[in-house]
Amino acid sequence: MAHPQRRSTLTRRQLLKDTSRLTATTLLASAGLSAVHAGGDETIQVALVGCGGRGSGAAQNALSVQRGPMKLVAMADVFEHRLKQSYDALSTTVADRLDVPEERQFIGFDAYQQAMDCLRPGDVVIFATPPAFRWVHFTYAIEKGLHVFMEKPVTVDGPTSRRMLELAERAQAKNLKVGVGLMSRHSRAMQELAQRVRDGQLGEIITQRGYRMQGPIVFFRSLPKPADKSELLFQIERFHSFLWASGGAYNDFFIHIIDHLCWMKGEWPVKAHALGGRHYRESEEGVLYVDQNLDTYSVEYTYSDGTKLFFGGRNMEGCDTKFSSAMHGTKGAAIVAKSGDYGMPSSIHYRHDFSRASTEWSSEIPEGQENPYQNEWEDLVEAIRDDLPYNEVKRGVEASLVCNLGRMAAHTGREITFEEMLACEHEFAPGLDTLTEASDAPLQPDAEGRYPVPQPGLVTDREY
């Protein structure tokens, strides 16, 4: 996971390999533009910025596309152990497409720049860092003339959303192809369901329901910072716990369900109001959890025609789990995701009980197209190879905004509109393009190590 810094402050490890790194960068850059940029079939080089599990998965998908060849030539992260783990994992699956010697393994707050400097215009960079840094990295990629795959979410607040919308236009003006990791939209089952909805098979959609109810996964909760770790690195490492870094659990965990339901409806909600609560906030040892997340969220989104999308999210042990989505129309009902973010089959029913007997259609996927994570890479590389229009940033920003407004409605106790969220001036972490290892963390704890949390009804013009 790499993080931004305009000035170069190299670690001791980087200084020791400085000469070899510069030589490698020069050799790669001097190769010039490959024929792929004119629709040829030369190798597309890839850089991975952010080497956690999702970044490693995206890199493997990139290197496995049918319309290769693809080659990973640079990796970047702020945590050396994560880069090493990612490199070792990729070495066991795609070793023949992995060309990342030590001099192109970059660690530090300017590592994202160094990795992109290894690419030629028209190559591809993967962004899989916490979303707070998306606009910083995207800005540099546009300057370098690189195609981009960025993971979701892509924004966490109003100011960064407006910034990313501007960057999307700049990328499109330069004919750069940009994919966003909302992979449900690349599910062939959901694509057919969406078309059937457009064709009127469900009638008018009147209600949608989405759920992600589970335990406290990954970095949803955090205990107080260990004394031997910097505040900044602690918050970056446990980014799900902090709104500035990730948009919190609401954005990172719930976005797929919310996004694909809005896709089925064919529009974004205009407003939301919500409930939420923090419940069991102590560990078994009696230590207080210090993250900013609510344990439960219940959000009612309203579309322009007055119809509703109801979303329920929960991260608590011992409760029933539910992870699916559905919708109801004037002619029947549909299961969108049977389980998970895209679990098949999608289906249409003439009754609202979703019984097997009432099934009118159930998705069947062509062999080799079952995995939407792979499909989104096949679609992006096809656009690069054939020079097709391809820019998913605007809808990625809008999906993130819909999550932001639902989260803000819960955190403030107010009804929030889409336009209010986009115009909101509270930027959680200004100045991330100048962040260094010596910088203060964007969020500061109190004397007892606790961070500010939402106070619905008390703090209503911002989330904390």
CA distance 33 to 42: 10
Say if residue 28 is in the same domain as residue 138: yes
Q: Average pLDDT of 45-55? A: 97
Say if residue 139 is in the same domain as residue 209: no
CA distance 273 to 261: 17
pLDDT number for residue 71: 98
φ, ψ for residue 347 (rounded to 5)? -155, 155
Neighbour-count burial for 410-419, b at 16+ CB within 10 Å, e otherwise? bbbbbebebe
Percent with pLDDT over 90 in the chain = 88
Is the residue at 159 inside a domain? yes
- The radius of gyration of the chain from alpha carbons, rounded to an integer in Å, stands at 22
CATH code: domain of residue 313 = 3.30.360.10
Tokens representing residue 60 in the block: 């493997």
CATH code: domain of residue 107 = 3.40.50.720
Say if residue 249 is in the same domain as residue 279: yes
Segments of 227-383 assigned E as strands: 271-277, 296-302, 308-315, 322-329, 332-337, 347-349, 359-362
- Terminal CA-CA length for the chain: 26
pLDDT number for residue 19: 36
pLDDT tens digits, residue range 302-340?
A: 999 999 999 999 999 999 999 999 999 999 999 999 999
pLDDT tens digits, residue range 398-418?
A: 999 999 999 999 999 999 999
pLDDT number for residue 36: 60
Domain that holds residue 107: 12-184+375-391
Is the residue at 443 inside a domain? no
Tell me if 242 sits within 8 A of 443, measured CB to CB: yes
The sign of the CA dihedral 345, 346, 351, 354 is positive
Say if residue 149 is in the same domain as residue 56: yes
Is the residue at 3 inside a domain? no
pLDDT tens digits, residue range 90-120?
A: 999 999 999 999 999 999 999 999 999 999 9
Mean pLDDT in the chain?
92
C-alpha distances in Å from residue 227, one per residue of 10, 224, 449: 24, 9, 11
φ, ψ for residue 6 (rounded to 5)? -75, -35
pLDDT tens digits, residue range 264-285?
A: 999 999 999 999 999 988 888 8
Closest CA to 336 of 235, 200, 163, 202: 202
